[in-house]
Chain A
Amino acid sequence: MAQHKIIFAGPVGAGKTTAIKSLSDIPVLTTDEEATDMTKKRKPQTTVAMDYGLLKLDGGERVHLYGTPGQERFDFMWDILTEGGLGLVLMLDNTRTNPFQDMSFYVNAFREFIEKTQLVIGVTRMDENPHPGLDRYRAHVETLGFMVPIFEVDAREKQDVSLLVQALLFSIDPGVKTNE
């Protein structure tokens, strides 16, 4: 049976692991380690290899959920993870100093993959820091050559993460309907 996967990427603390936990049917496997570098300021533990969750579908099909490590020094993992992926969910943290720089970095890093598949963006912690607003995110992603769904999300809320993934699927195929 074919293996399908959805990739979650983004900077440290943006909510990738939490988002996968919100959706997964199994306890999420994480490779968190105590942070020892600058990351520690934002998060005491951080993902060093990947997170893994699973969605079990009717009919036995499975969709694997992979979270990339947030730290750039683990970017050798990214190519391996994206192989055969359905699309990319990019999580951005609105309390970071320059979330647009984060966006540019990840969109460019995954550009080849995104161009073949699809990208959606979830912006977290907008309740803590409402600025910049989504309109500025939309404008920035356009400068990178994309017009994609960008939603305000709380990674702890299954409904929010679910809507991100739904947007990813419909962006690939607006004609799709649920299988009854």
Chain B
Amino acid sequence: MFTRKKTDTELKVSIVGMNERALQLFTMFLEGPARGSCQIVTNGTHEVVIIDLDGVESPRLWLDLRRKFHGPVVVLSVTEKHLNNAFWVCKPVQAEHFSAAVAKARDALKNPPAAPVKLPEVKPPTPVASARPSTVGGREDAKPHQSSDALEAAPTTTAPAAQLMGEDMDERAQNCCGNLLDSAYTDPKGREELFFNPELTLLGVYRQALKLSAEAGVARIEGLGPYPLYVGAAVNFVSTPMPEPFLRAVCARSMDASPVSVGLIDQEPKKIGASEDPRLRRLDNMLWKISLWSSRGRVPVGTSLTAPVRLRGWPNIPRLMSVPHSMRISALWATQPSGLLETARKLDVPYRFVFSFYTACQSFGLVELQKSSETISGSVADVSAKPVKNEKRGLFGSLLKKLGFG
């Protein structure tokens, strides 16, 4: 690769969070409109890091980065970011704004900021039957009562990329259920990581738009980067030019960090709904995806992890984004209501699939938490001990393999 000699004014930078194509484009930007501001280095001698924080993995990337690097960071994102010792540049990146952020980073190198103030410890949420989310603060929806500074210091059980590669996790699973490791679920100290506040995610905003639309017509969500989202509950459609990767990224960020608004527009739902516009998507599909991508292996704050979950109705699995093991989880909850943690253990499936699936089903009103006393007596042994079931397990296993399950 062609490299220029570094001038005295250029900062040595490292790039994080960009794929090959994005990196090439950004390199062209540095060689063109932003020439003279930075030079990319790959030998670990960087003074500043430039990170793209719009990917679905961005919370993990940020945590990983901050564990290794405490210097100034230039953050590229479509939404405003307030992170410690970091300087936000709005995407699409303009040379003028980028140069300003680089200048701030340079100043920060000369005058490093004081160490972040340590916040008091956070109590894990009290599990109650109600799924009503509590009020939380902070910018990251996964961390109730934590500020961005606390987020940087927080321990994490999210898996490093290399570790994930070695796991039995296909792309489908990563796409829909996040990457929390099972250890996050089994360690009582890490329980707060298992909860999120839907009201601070796109899920909450989308529900609000659904409600508004059901009452009065077409609702518009604005503030999600350059893509508005129109919701027409009466005609069962959503219209948006938003690409799916962008939608996933939006689901991963907190809605209180940027001015997102929901309002009604003066438009007949049928006019939009009858269109052949390729931007039209099914309302239920969109709710399902937003639920999964907002959840990423977590459940709404306040959800009991032990109360038995009863399935009130099966989700329309053939028409919804696939969640690994959703059939087995549904069948268990339909026949033997089981707690969230217990479900994963009984079926021997990763916890994050169970948690994500629960959150999506809850958005559709398809699950309910029972009181413990209502638990139908059942255990792992019960599931496998019924003679009628056992005698056909071999056949069923072969048949499922034939049908392409797994």
User: Using a CB–CB distance below 8 Å, which chain A residues touch chain B?
Assistant: 2, 4, 23, 55-59, 61, 63, 86, 130, 134-135, 138, 147-153, 159-160, 162-167, 169-180
Q: Are B330 and A58 in contact, CB atoms less than 8 angstroms apart?
A: no
Offer 10 A-B interface pairs, CB within 8 angstroms, sorted by A.
A23-B403, A58-B398, A58-B401, A61-B395, A134-B313, A151-B318, A159-B404, A167-B314, A170-B327, A175-B389
- The answer for the CA separation of A163 and B393 in the assembled complex, in Å, is 18
New A-B pairs, 19, CB < 8 Å, besides A173-B331, A178-B406:
A55-B399, A61-B395, A134-B313, A138-B313, A147-B313, A150-B313, A160-B318, A166-B327, A170-B327, A170-B331, A171-B331, A174-B331, A174-B332, A174-B335, A176-B393, A176-B397, A177-B400, A179-B397, A180-B401
Residues of B close to A147: CB separation below 8 A: 311-313, 334
**Does any Cβ of A come within 8 Å of B83's Cβ?**
no
**Does any Cβ of A come within 8 Å of B316's Cβ?**
yes
Say whether, besides A147-B311, A165-B403, A174-B328, A159 and B398 are in contact (CB < 8 Å).
no
- The answer for the CA separation of A131 and B346 in the assembled complex, in Å, is 37
Q: Are B395 and A178 in contact, CB atoms less than 8 angstroms apart?
A: no
Residues of B close to A162: CB separation below 8 A: 403-405
Give the bracket for the number of chain B residues in contact with chain A: 35 or more
**Does any Cβ of A come within 8 Å of B115's Cβ?**
no
- The answer for the CA separation of A174 and B334 in the assembled complex, in Å, is 10
Q: Are A57 and B398 in contact, CB atoms less than 8 angstroms apart?
A: yes
Q: Are A149 and B314 in contact, CB atoms less than 8 angstroms apart?
A: yes
Say whether, besides A175-B383, A179-B394, A169 and B399 are in contact (CB < 8 Å).
yes
Residues of B close to A159: CB separation below 8 A: 318, 404
Residues of A close to B405: CB separation below 8 A: 162, 166, 178
Residues of A close to B312: CB separation below 8 A: 147
Which of A130, A151, A153 sits near B314, CB closer than 8 Å? A151
**Does any Cβ of A come within 8 Å of B336's Cβ?**
yes
Residues of B close to A180: CB separation below 8 A: 401
**CB interface residues, B 320-354, toward A, < 8 Å:** 327-332, 334-336, 346-347
Which of B314, B316, B399 sits near A63, CB closer than 8 Å? B399
Most buried by A among B316, B383, B403: B403
Which of A165, A175, A179 sits near B347, CB closer than 8 Å? A175
Q: Are A175 and B384 in contact, CB atoms less than 8 angstroms apart?
A: yes
- Pairs A-B, 10 closest by C-beta atoms: A179-B397, A174-B331, A170-B331, A174-B332, A173-B389, A149-B314, A138-B313, A57-B398, A175-B383, A176-B396
Most buried by A among B316, B330, B335, B346: B316
